[in-house]
Amino acid sequence: MSRRSAAEDLARGLRVTPFVAGRWQPESTQDTFDVVDPVTERPLVTVTEADAATVDKAVVSARDALDDGEWGRMDGAARGQLLLAFAQLIEDRAEDFADLESLDVGKPGIEGRVIDLPQTVATFRHYAGWADKLTGQSIPTPGYQGRRTLSYTVRQPVGVVAAITPWNSPTMIGSWKVAPALAAGCTVVLKPPEDAPLTSLLLAQLAEEAGFPAGVFNVVPGRGATTGNTLVEHPGVDKISFTGSPETGRIVAAAAARNFRPTTLELGGKSPQIVFADADLDAAAAGVALGIFANQGEVCAAGSRILVARTIHDEFVERLVAHAAKIVLGDPFDDGTTMGALINAEQRERVLRYVQTGRDEGARLVTGGGRPERRGYFVEPTLFADASPEMTIAREEIFGPVGTILAFDDDHQAVAIANDSNYALAATLWTTDLSRAHTVAARVRAGAVAVNGWSPLDARLPWGGSKLSGLGRELGWAGIEANTELKTITVIL
Ligand code: ADP
């Protein structure tokens, strides 16, 4: 049996109903949606959508698990042990996760195996380590009406966390939300993307196997406008952690604001990759190409604005074009495929519209720009040169394999172009000059700056942006802070 048909069998064998209050909910013929394979354009499975009553049951059971269940009383070290067991179960099924993600998302198998799954497992292990270290402080105060006082803080779980994930890397981004919430002692209702819910359903199966008490981890598959909207509007949700588009982020933030609930929003970017004339050009070309073409460019941190020093501009464009030429578009299950399909027909058309806009506005198409003659939602790796900062393709997030190359004359201008953006998520700098690296890193507005590499992923490193890129930080200690509240206790002695 080929790897693809084994993966399709695996998908068909999954439980595809909501996992709520420790139970798989019954199938429904009313509220269902099809999950389509972006490579074959065929439906893979039909998933039962979580309706309003099911979302309510999930939120109520999550609250009960906190207030009345063993989870609320569980020692941090025991939570850590559960997270470690969960991480191990995920690692044991890493191949299955990677295959399901290739089927669901269209990404080459190698990416799931080398990036998404190891990062997911590492994230659960990282947060397992925090679970028993959530300490407060004791704070000396001068006393109260002549009596001595003891004041201290305790760090408590923020409560029921609604986690809403996007389709580009649902497993890994899901782990960024679920792992810190569980480590902090919260309970979670995860709403996976309707285009790619399969790995989140497998995650629910493994959470059940790991032995999390009922209600601690719920998965409510469904569409955004229905299940997602019901979840963010639910008054029992204490915190919302969302990754997706700025348009949907705005709806989510407005719903959260009505009840002043904290939110973490990660909404994408138009991240600059700045190549200075003193850069190691071999390394820079390889890194910049990875930065825009990995995961078909469907990456929040995709380095889609490529700023190149004018003195090396032409040579660098040639090098990038050579890298693009080496990319092998194809079925994620074929050996040698280095770029898969986009998530759906709508996304492909959106990307192709941007390509047309780039041509219309006068940028020079130097490679790609079309779709190959084959089934599937593919778009060729595409590069535009001679772009100017005001062009649409230099300003808007395309979320596809389209890089826009702009020339700059000096460091000041490079920083000005980089910061002239509605987004501020990530940036990469390519230079061998230590002083320039630190100086520019300090001046570029972004949540994360990588020098001579592309956004290293690591559960220890805080992640997030500002402006249209969102609000707050995930990962590292920031992930614990985002899922806890400080309580101040003062005892008048
Ligand atoms: P895209 O347009 O690329 O699919 P979205 O930001 O719409 O990105 O989707 C990200 C996640 O947000 C998905 O899980 C989606 O189902 C969910 N979503 C979409 N609309 C809403 C909404 N109104 N309320 C809550 N979640 C939503």
Report the residue among 49, 59, 164, 468 best suited for mutation to probe ligand 1: largest number of ligand atoms under 8 A from its CB: 164
Is 59 within a domain? Answer: yes
Domain containing residue 452: 272-459
The residue-averaged pLDDT of 81-102 equals 98
pLDDT-derived band at 39, boundaries 50, 70, 90: very high
* pLDDT tens digits, 272-305: 999 999 999 999 999 999 999 999 999 999 999 9
Is 230 within a domain? Answer: yes
The CATH number of whichever domain residue 231 belongs to comes to 3.40.605.10
* pLDDT tens digits, 193-204: 999 999 999 999
Specify the residue with its C-alpha closest to ligand 1, atom 13.
Answer: 193
Report the candidate in 485, 487, 476, 486 with the shortest Cα–Cα distance to residue 179. Answer: 476
Same domain assignment for residues 243 and 378? no
Go through the chain and tell me how many residues it has: 493
Total domain count, the chain:
2
pLDDT-derived band at 28, boundaries 50, 70, 90: confident
- Looking from the CA of residue 192, the nearest atom of ligand 1 is 14
Same domain assignment for residues 374 and 414? yes
Residue 471 Cα to ligand 1 midpoint, Å, equals 16
Is 97 within a domain? Answer: yes
- One-letter amino acid identity for 264? T
pLDDT-derived band at 470, boundaries 50, 70, 90: very high
Cα 276 to its chain centre, rounded Å, is 29
Is 433 within a domain? Answer: yes
* pLDDT tens digits, 309-321: 999 999 999 999 9
Is 464 within a domain? Answer: no
Whether 232 lines ligand 1, by a CB cut-off of 6 Å, is yes
Same domain assignment for residues 216 and 135? yes
Same domain assignment for residues 102 and 38? yes
Whether 229 lines ligand 1, by a CB cut-off of 6 Å, is yes
Is 108 within a domain? Answer: yes
pLDDT-derived band at 336, boundaries 50, 70, 90: very high
Q: In this prediction, what percent of the chain has a pLDDT beyond 90?
A: 97
Q: What is the pLDDT of residue 69?
A: 86
Cα 458 to its chain centre, rounded Å, is 13
Dihedral sign from CA coordinates of 243, 247, 250, 255: negative
Between CA 435 and CA 438, with CA 437 as vertex, the angle to 5 degrees is 70
Residue 255 Cα to ligand 1 midpoint, Å, equals 13
- Residue 293 · residue 327 · CB < 8 Å: yes
Between CA 235 and CA 98, with CA 166 as vertex, the angle to 5 degrees is 130
3-class SS letters over the chain: CCHHHHHHHHHHHCCCCCEECCEECCCCCCCEEEEECCCCCCEEEEEECCCHHHHHHHHHHHHHHHHCCHHHHCCHHHHHHHHHHHHHHHHHCHHHHHHHHHHHHCCCHHHHHHHHHHHHHHHHHHHHHHCCCCCCCEECCCCECCECEEEEEEEEECCEEEEECCCCCHHHHHHHHHHHHHHCCCEEEEECCCCCCHHHHHHHHHHHHHCCCCCCEEECCCCHHHHHHHHHHCCCCCEEEEECCHHHHHHHHHHHHHCCCCEEEECCCCCEEEECCCCCHHHHHHHHHHHHHHHHHCCCCCCCEEEEEHHHHHHHHHHHHHHHHHCCECCCCCCCCCECCCCCHHHHHHHHHHHHHHHHCCCEEEECCCCCCCCCCCCCCEEEECCCCCCHHHHCCCCCCEEEEEEECCHHHHHHHHHCCCEECEEEEECCCHHHHHHHHHHCCCCEEEECCCCCCCCCCCECCEECCEECCECHHHHHHHCEEEEEEEEEC
Same domain assignment for residues 243 and 296? no
* pLDDT tens digits, 354-372: 999 999 999 999 999 999 9
- What residues are labeled active site? 266, 300
The encoded tokens of residue 300 equal 């929040």
Is 176 within a domain? Answer: yes
Same domain assignment for residues 218 and 331? no
Q: What is the pTM of this model?
A: 0.97
Report the candidate in 211, 229, 251, 111 with the shortest Cα–Cα distance to residue 169. Answer: 111
Distance of alpha carbon 86 from alpha carbon 90, whole angstroms: 6
The encoded tokens of residue 474 equal 């995930």
Same domain assignment for residues 50 and 158? yes
Q: What is the pLDDT of residue 80?
A: 98
Whether 344 lines ligand 1, by a CB cut-off of 6 Å, is no
- Looking from the CA of residue 168, the nearest atom of ligand 1 is 3
Specify the residue with its C-alpha closest to ligand 1, atom 14.
Answer: 193
Pairing of strands 382-385, 364-367: antiparallel
- Looking from the CA of residue 249, the nearest atom of ligand 1 is 6
- Looking from the CA of residue 194, the nearest atom of ligand 1 is 16
The distance between the two most distant Cα atoms of the chain, rounded to a whole number of Å, is: 83
Same domain assignment for residues 204 and 290? no
Distance of alpha carbon 233 from alpha carbon 245, whole angstroms: 18
Specify the residue with its C-alpha closest to ligand 1, atom 15.
Answer: 224
- Residue 160 · residue 215 · CB < 8 Å: no
Whether 452 lines ligand 1, by a CB cut-off of 6 Å, is no
The residue-averaged pLDDT of 17-34 equals 93
Distance of alpha carbon 59 from alpha carbon 188, whole angstroms: 8
Same domain assignment for residues 411 and 284? yes
Distance of alpha carbon 469 from alpha carbon 377, whole angstroms: 26
The CATH number of whichever domain residue 326 belongs to comes to 3.40.309.10
Q: What is the pLDDT of residue 402?
A: 98
Same domain assignment for residues 276 and 358? yes
- One-letter amino acid identity for 110? I
Q: Count the alpha carbons within 13 Å of 161 in the hemisphere toward its beta carbon.
A: 32
Whether 244 lines ligand 1, by a CB cut-off of 6 Å, is yes
Same domain assignment for residues 206 and 97? yes
Residue 244 Cα to ligand 1 midpoint, Å, equals 6
Same domain assignment for residues 281 and 202? no
Report the candidate in 242, 384, 257, 339 with the shortest Cα–Cα distance to residue 300. Answer: 242
